[in-house]
Structure 1
Amino acid sequence: MRVSVIFTTYNHPKWLEKVLWGFSVQTYRDFEIVIADDGSNEETREVIERVSAEIDIPVKHIWHEDIDFRKCQILNKAILASEGDYLIFTDGDCIPHPAFVENHVAFSEKGHFLSGGYFKLPMDLSRKITKEDILSGNATKPSWLLDNGLKFTYKISKLISSKKWGAVLDFITPTKATWNGHSASTFREYVLQTNGFDERMQYGGQDREFGERLMNMGIKGKQVRYRCSCVHLDHKRGYARQESIDKNRAIRKATRKDKVVRTAYGLDQYVKSMADLDKA
């Protein structure tokens, strides 16, 4: 099964570099990385080119012009550029556990999408993590994080990513299995059937709306938050605006009420434009 890991980035080159190093030491090796870049500057491109030359995982950099928050648009372009039969989605500020890809592949199941987890780090520890910490696997080890100043919380158990104990914790957790931008995956065919992400949406719930359309289609969420985890590096969210959040809530409400499966504002427009170019 061909696998593609897709994640977004926007002008966070230092965080992006850490994420790329995290994917360079995955226990499962047969996958590609597709970076959905929402208009980052030259520094981001330089980081991608430099790290790509040093790792043995193929990397694609999909970029468009910086015109406000257009995460859904660039995600759709990245989906079309990907070659995997199975698509794993995360974010450019999330360092994956070394077994992240392996576990997503191992627990993949027809008729389902996987709902993974994350553990959010404070800013001081996000900055402290080095390349060596990532390559050694320390950056996602609870013991190392605690030794380096992290305050204990039971949520850190998500980073153990044990197939055995994680299954137990995923079974008893009251948290619902939803589509999470930091760690989620499903088969390419299902993504295409939904027509991808709804490009009317900006920041606030756009990932959840996509998952809700999957569920309307009959694709069930499978809880793997204790088995497919990552550490989330801290950052500001200057793009968070109440206006866009309210708009997205209205779209999500309609998606649930009308049992929408396929958005009219997704992948089709790019497929059509590419077909038109081929004809020309």
Structure 2
Amino acid sequence: MTLSVIFSTYNSEEWLEKVVWGFSVQTFKDFEIIIADDGSRESTKQLIDRLRGEIEIPIIHVWQEDNGFQKSQILNKAILASTSDYLIFTDGDCIPREDFVEVHNKYREQGYFLSGGYFKLPMDISKAITKDDIINQRCFDINWLKEKGLPSSYKNIKFTSKGIISKILNAITPTNASWNGHNASGWKKDLMEVNGFNQEMQYGGQDRELGERMFNKGLKSKQIRYSAICVHLDHKRGYVNEETWKKNYSIRENTKKNKVIKTPIGIDSNK
């Protein structure tokens, strides 16, 4: 495989199926899907088994027991399970546009990681998107989205910019080209050398902390937020709490202050 696409899931079959259908219609086909499952119920496994028989892209299901929010650990296990040398990371609630993988493959470069974004959809539109809307790419058509109630916003330009306009927007956006868990990619060897995600961290900045260690390693980043497009399906976040945010903030501050490259508890604790 040229590429591996990794995304996490947890007891969210409706969103997971929509995401997999999004990857089933990619213009670039030489990749594998690795679903990093943080302890989902049996029905998630049954869905994945069914989808394996319905799409051409190979699916690897990496599962661990439910022990609370342990996304960093299951992503590290997914990295170990990957069979390619270049890895794309997104989330199990983000439907990719049909050229999503192609864009990541086009812009990958030694010494860099790629930084993309997402477009948040409200719950009513998230629920309204069907398999047919994904296969025929209507969920990326700004007119269709407006018909479904999407309000006007400068952010809508993500759906209409193409070619040179997208490149210009990538160049001038004030948004930092950080490692974003919903849309980022990098070389497997670089991820292994920084020891992957910090497993001491739960929800809140664990993706950014990984990117900060990649910068400490000497890597640079490239902005592709107006080229690699995905839509984010709405959901609740019951795993968010202030104590975790404070702990994660402290870890990130240490990473930046002491130029940490390799996290002490990461990929190598899963071998």
Using the size of structure 1 for normalisation, the TM-score is 0.95
* Map 1:176-195 → 2, pairs under 5 A: 176-195=176-195
For 1:97, the equivalent position in structure 2 comes to 97
How many residues matched? Answer: 271
Residues 9-56 of structure 1 deviation map (CA, whole Å, 9 limit, x = unaligned)? 001100000000000000000000000000001111111111121000
Superposed CA deviations along residues 215-256 of structure 1, whole A, max 9, x for unmatched, are 111111111100012000000000001111110000000000
Indicate the percent of aligned positions where both proteins have the same amino acid.
Answer: 57
SS at match of 2:6: strand
1:79 is the counterpart of 2:95: no
Determine the C-alpha separation between the residues in 1 that align with 2:144 and 2:267: 42
Q: Offset of 1:161 from its aligned partner?
A: 6.1
> d(CA) in 1 for partners of 2:114 and 2:5?
14
CA distance in 2 between counterparts of 1:92 and 1:160 reads: 24
1:128 aligns with 2:128: yes
- Looking at structure 2, the residues matched to 134 and 221 of structure 1 have their Cα atoms a distance apart, in angstroms, of 30
Deviation at 1:163, TM superposition (A): 3.5
Q: Which residue does 2:43 correspond to in 1?
A: 43
Alignment map for 1:1-280 (pairs within 5 Å):
2-160=2-160, 162-271=162-271
The runs of at least 4 consecutive aligned structure 1 residues that moved more than 3 Å come to none
Superposed CA offset, 1:79-117 (max 9, x none): 000111110000000000110000001011111111001
CA–CA distance in structure 1, aligned partners of residues 49 and 237 of structure 2: 26
Structure 1, unaligned runs of 5 or more:
272-280
SS of residue paired to 2:118: strand
1:147-203 C-alpha deviation (Å, 9 max, x unpaired): 221111111222346332210101111111000011000111111110100000000
8 Å Cα contact 1:161-1:229 kept in structure 2:
no
TM-score for both structures, normalised by structure 2: 0.98
Q: CA deviation at 1:269?
A: 1.7
- Deviations 1:244-271, CA, capped at 9 Å, x for gaps: 1110000000000000011110111222
Return the offset for 1:137.
0.8
1:141 Cα deviation after fit: 2.1
When structure 1 is superposed on structure 2, of 246-255 and 260-269 the one drifting more is 260-269
Q: Which moved more, 1:102-111 or 1:144-153?
A: 144-153
Any gaps of 5 or more consecutive residues in structure 2? none
Which deviations, in whole Å up to 9, do the C-alpha atoms of 1:64-84 show, x marking residues without a partner?
Answer: 000110000000000000111
Match of 1:274 in 2: none
Give me the whole-angstrom Cα distance separating, in 2, the residues matched to 1:260 and 1:186: 18
Answer yes or no: is the 8 Å Cα contact 1:33–1:57 preserved in 2: yes
Amino acid at match of 1:56: E
RMSD: 1.0
The 8 Å contact of residues 119 and 159 in structure 1, kept in 2 or not, is answered as: no
Q: SS in structure 2 opposite 1:117?
A: coil
Query: Which residue is equivalent to 1:278?
Result: none
- Greater Cα shift, 188-197 or 140-149: 140-149
